[in-house]
Amino acid sequence: MAETSSNLDDPTLNPCPTFPDCGFRQPNSGVVLSCLDCFLRNGSLYCFDYGVSPSVFLTRIRGGTCTTALSDPPETVIHRAMYLLQNGFGNYDVFQNNCEDFALYCRTGLLIVDTKQGVGRSGQASSVIGAPLAAMLSSPLKLLMPSPVGVATVTAGMYCMSRYATDIGVRSDVIKVGVEDLAVNLGWACPDEEVAEDDETSYNQTTR
């Protein structure tokens, strides 16, 4: 599998004994080819569910465990992951371009049109933002609701609804983007390509 991280260990220090290509990455890329054992690093394996119903989504209190978006066929998912292994997935950002964003794109091919809104596709990132926001919005209700249970219930409801509103499966600002067009859509132009384009433009202007 391919994974993204901001601080993966150098694979040459602890080479994988079972998978020779484990740890492969392109220079200056955060996408790494990894076997399952090295990916887990003695941790636990958890299942992320795709295509869940809204009712199931709202019952999952913890963010980053499911999405209402449907997964594409396995061969399409693998093609995206291997293409990004060779070409990169942009700069790592904990809120807008993290490991979960990588997995969600590989599985669904969905991208957010406006990435300047502060929240990417990640359910964990939206939970981090949604919990304090729900608490802040429900604070005035303490003056109207004498029962702490009532305030807690409203706060939990706001938190769940904020998570649902930012889920990639229900957002209205997402589009399906082919992996070959990913860099163009997100502005991840390679520096070498940008220099080549600038040189070509300058040459065309001087020859006119």
Q: What is the pLDDT of residues 28-82, one digit of tens each?
A: 888 999 999 999 988 999 899 999 999 999 888 888 889 999 999 999 999 999 9
Q: Check residue 1 and give its pLDDT.
A: 58
Q: Check residue 55 and give its pLDDT.
A: 92
Q: Which domain holds residue 166?
A: 46-186
Task: Tell me if 54 is assigned to some domain.
Answer: yes
Task: Tell me if 182 is assigned to some domain.
Answer: yes
Task: Tell me if 196 is assigned to some domain.
Answer: no
Q: How many domains are contained in the chain?
A: 1
Q: Check residue 127 and give its pLDDT.
A: 45
Task: Tell me if 130 is assigned to some domain.
Answer: yes
CB under 8 Å to 31, separation ≥6 — which residues?
A: 2, 3, 4, 25, 84, 85, 88, 89, 102
Structure pTM?
0.69
Task: Tell me if 94 is assigned to some domain.
Answer: yes
Residues in the chain with pLDDT < 50? 5-8, 118-139, 141-144, 191-204, 207
